[in-house]
Amino acid sequence: MENFEENRVAKSRSLAKMQSLERYSLHSYVFNYIRDAILNGRYKPGDALVETRLADELGVSRTPIREAIRQLELEGLVISIPNKGVVVSGVSQQDIDDIYTIRSMLEGLAARWAAQRIDEPNLKELEEIVELMEYYTKKNDFEQLTQLDTRFHGVIYEACASKVLKHLLDNLLRYVERARRGSLKVPMRANQSFNEHKSIFEAIMKRNAAEAERLMAEHIARAILNLHSLMEQSEERD
Amino acid sequence: MENFEENRVAKSRSLAKMQSLERYSLHSYVFNYIRDAILNGRYKPGDALVETRLADELGVSRTPIREAIRQLELEGLVISIPNKGVVVSGVSQQDIDDIYTIRSMLEGLAARWAAQRIDEPNLKELEEIVELMEYYTKKNDFEQLTQLDTRFHGVIYEACASKVLKHLLDNLLRYVERARRGSLKVPMRANQSFNEHKSIFEAIMKRNAAEAERLMAEHIARAILNLHSLMEQSEERD
DNA sequence: GCCTGTATAATTGTATACAATTAATGTGAC
DNA sequence: GTCACATTAATTGTATACAATTATACAGGC
């Protein structure tokens, strides 16, 4: 029938999105696609997700769609009613606030454990990141700073040596990805943010677990405050 | 072919497990089946999960198996290597310890929010649960106490009015389900546990958020200590 | 022996076919 | 008009078929 055409679509899709991944599968592609669409607001809460429609839209069969939906269901991004369908649940502003509160605790815990358990290579990488942060903060390069921020926290997740905690934080971070990217684009905040990162690094280096936890918790708490003032400004825009 | 036989198996399965659920689907059944098998230690870390083998074992096709595996993957219970297969990751003792530490923070947060936000019906239910706990503690009915404990925490998850926090805690609780059930079966602990629950309830009733948080965090922290002493005793048994 | 390449089998990945359930559409009674 | 009920369409649930990939086994060369 139209297998060739569909194959072509699939190929170009994979090239566009999976350039950095050596291995992939359709369900993971679909999962990321739908999740991003929900987190970006393209699929809105209440929207129905029809399998065949998604399959057509993405040029794949229903099987990988269903696998992805099952994962989204577990993440709480959609709600599935058996034999009826799935609707987008989405992430409300209240959810984002809650996530930041939760993160401030869990990132604090991660910093505490990292201070106790971090090894030399990770400590060295953290130092390097902080140096780069200083450089790009002066340059006002927000794109680089956002990436460095992700790396900074990622190294700490790694260094805390807890599969469970890392897993939780990775997920929470994805939920607030969009909010986070905005938050760092404020010049003043970038400067403040650098100082906070530096202090956290120093506390970890000194193996001061309590201090690292406190500083990290405050760091995240401040991020949400900043986010709020940011939203008040651009209230009419969105 | 052997469709009739397979249908029969499926029917009896659904009756056995889904008696409390009005609607179900095979993937959720498979998900629960495999998750329990992993959490109970029947499937051990490193074991390969072969789709066809599971499909035969459960008398269903590969489709619901795959959907369930994708969910287990997201939960971190299995690790999937594309085109190769999935292996059981499992929950180590370290994981359980970490979960209890994380829970002590998050349950504390839930108690704090619950103290601020709980409504009358939930408060009333909490009071009722505490009364029943007193009753069954005197009777040493551990089965009832375990259920009441689940209900107590469940009501607080509900009362904290945070979809995200409730979701996280529900998941964490499932991970330590087995450990938790053992923990309450120690008579002394049951008594202590009752007093802790009562104090937490009173703090929430008095709308004392800080106190509720502190008491709850200590309650969970004590549970892990108790669990450790329990394991030292039965070290040779398992 | 052991390495290497090749054929075969096992397994995963994806698409499609069919069944079951739910939503919608329309028709007749009143 | 509208309510009840039957009929059809749309959608989800499950199983199976086929393709692609990876593991296994085995033969020949060195």
- pLDDT tens-digit series, residues B78-112: 999 999 999 999 888 999 999 999 999 999 999 99
CB contact under 8 A, B71 and A71: yes
Percent of chain B with pLDDT over 70: 85
Q: By 3-state DSSP, what share of chain B in percent is helix, strand and coil, each rounded to 5?
A: 75, 5, 20
CB B195 within 8 A of CB B56: no
For residues B15-43, average pLDDT: 75
Nucleotide nearest the Cα atom of B85 (by C1'): C12
Residue A12 is predicted with a pLDDT of 36
Residue A126 is predicted with a pLDDT of 98
For residues B167-177, average pLDDT: 90
Q: Is any Cβ of chain A less than 8 angstroms from the Cβ of B93?
A: no
CB B64 within 8 A of CB A67: no
User: Cβ contacts (< 8 Å) between B82 and chain A: which residues?
Assistant: 23-25
pLDDT at A108 over 80: yes
Q: Give backbone dihedrals phi and psi of B150, rounded to 5 degrees, phi first.
A: -60, -45
For B162, the closest of A70, A82, A98 (CB atoms) is: A98
d(CA A35, C1' D11) / Å: 22
Mutation for testing the B interface, residue in A97, A98, A116 having most B CBs under 10 Å: A98
CB contact under 8 A, B98 and A63: no
Mean pLDDT score across all residues of chain B: 87
Domains of chain A and any CATH numbers: 3-88 (1.10.10.10), 93-233 (1.20.120.530)
pLDDT at B14 over 80: no
CB contact under 8 A, B98 and A164: yes
For A27, the closest of B68, B70, B102 (CB atoms) is: B70
Report the C-alpha gap between A207 and A95 in whole angstroms. Answer: 33
Mutation for testing the B interface, residue in A29, A102, A113 having most B CBs under 10 Å: A102
Q: Is any Cβ of chain A less than 8 angstroms from the Cβ of B66?
A: yes
Closest CA to B66 of A70, A141, A211: A70
Residue B111 or B24, more confident: B111
User: Cβ contacts (< 8 Å) between A99 and chain B: which residues?
Assistant: 164
Cα angle value B94/B233/A162 (rounded, 5°): 5
Q: Is any Cβ of chain B less than 8 angstroms from the Cβ of A224?
A: no
pLDDT digits (tens, 9 = 90+) for A179-212: 777 676 666 788 899 999 999 999 999 999 999 9
pLDDT at B15 over 50: no
Give the rounded distance of the alpha carbon of A215 from its chain centre: 21
Tokens coding B64? 């619901």
Q: Is any Cβ of chain A less than 8 angstroms from the Cβ of B82?
A: yes
Residue A113 or B183, more confident: A113
CB B108 within 8 A of CB B216: yes
Residue A235 is predicted with a pLDDT of 59
What 3-state class would DSSP assign to B134? helix
Dihedral over Cα of B213, B217, B220, B223: its sign:
negative
Distance from CA of A12 to the nearest CA of B (A): 20
Residue B184 is predicted with a pLDDT of 67
pLDDT digits (tens, 9 = 90+) for B193-214: 999 999 999 999 999 999 999 9
CB B72 within 8 A of CB B78: yes
Report the C-alpha gap between A141 and B18 in whole angstroms. Answer: 56
Q: Where are the beta strands (DSSP E) in chain A?
A: 48-49, 78-81, 85-88
Report the C-alpha gap between B70 and A91 in whole angstroms. Answer: 22
- Write the burial class of residue A117 (CB in 10 Å: 0-12 exposed, 13-18 middle, 19+ buried): middle
Quickly count: other Cβ atoms within 10 Å of residue B180's Cβ. 20
